[in-house]
Amino acid sequence: MCLNEEIIISNASAADIDALHEIETLSFPEDKAASRKAFEYRLNSFPQWFFKAEYNGRIVGLIDGSPSDNEYITDDLYQVGGEFNVNGKNLLIFGLAVNPNYRHRGIAHRLMNHIIHTAKAQGKKRISFTCKESLIPFYESFGYENHGISKSVIGNTTNYNMEMYLNII
Ligand SMILES: CC(C)(COP(=O)(O)OP(=O)(O)OC[C@H]1O[C@@H](n2cnc3c(N)ncnc32)[C@H](O)[C@@H]1OP(=O)(O)O)[C@@H](O)C(=O)NCCC(=O)NCCS
């Protein structure tokens, strides 16, 4: 068990792509993991929504999303060229992943709380993403609500729309 002080969350950059993509491929099956090109696209287009977790100087986790006016994620948005709006009122989260050797130390919680805090501070209205059924309780523990089955079929599985309202306008 490590102490939270040893975990640093900060913005990722293009220089981190190899380490970030390794975590992505270790964490998701091939048909769900984002491609390296998709990571490049996201880091070039809206880098302020890509965060890394470092443990003793090593990149061990990531969370990334897209500013958008859309309410829910659709599978086209995960791809290179996916639509986004840098001034969009909502945040769509693409992925949260932690290196298997560093799980159960609170790193995913730190990453998720960081992106929630940043979205609130930036005046985003709502956060939305999809997850598989087994992770619904994990995300409900942050305050997200399950809004039912998503149109997204990425990973060839049933995904659920999770959402949280941040700043009621
Ligand atoms: C899900 C994931 C990000 C959690 O990372 P983590 O750093 O281990 O999470 P934390 O240490 O902050 O929190 C752990 C707690 O979350 C819950 N949790 C974590 N993974 C879970 C899972 N697969 N199912 C149910 N609950 C889970 C448990 O309560 C766990 O407590 P424990 O450590 O006492 O077992 C990590 O397992 C992962 O990368 N998985 C593969 C990718 C993935 O599925 N990402 C989510 C996409 S929607």
Ligand 1 atom, smallest distance to 109 CA: 12
Largest CA distance in the chain: 42
Q: Which of 131, 135, 162 most suits a substitution to test ligand 1, by most atoms within 8 Å of the C-beta?
A: 135
The CB of 106 under 6 Å from ligand 1? The reply is yes
State pLDDT tens for residues 42-90: 999 999 999 999 999 999 999 999 999 999 999 999 999 999 999 999 9
* pLDDT < 50 stretches in the chain: none
Distance 42 CA to ligand 1 centre (A): 24
Q: How far apart are CA 91 and CA 100, in angstroms?
A: 26
Phi, psi of 62 (to 5 degrees): -150, 155
Paired with 11 in beta bridges are 51
Put the strands of the sheet holding 7-11 in their side by side order.
7-11, 50-55, 58-68, 90-98, 126-132, 159-165, 145-149
Residue 111: predicted pLDDT: 98
Q: Which class is domain 4-165?
A: alpha beta
The CB of 114 under 6 Å from ligand 1? The reply is no
The CB of 138 under 6 Å from ligand 1? The reply is yes
Residue 84: predicted pLDDT: 95
How confident is the prediction for the chain on average, in pLDDT? Answer: 94
The domain spans of the chain are 4-165
User: How far, CA to CA in Å, does 120 sit from each of 21, 79, 86, 90, 153?
Assistant: 27, 26, 15, 10, 28
Q: pTM (2 decimals)? A: 0.95
The CB of 44 under 6 Å from ligand 1? The reply is no
Residue 154: predicted pLDDT: 86
Q: What is the DSSP letter of 122?
A: T
Residue 21: predicted pLDDT: 98
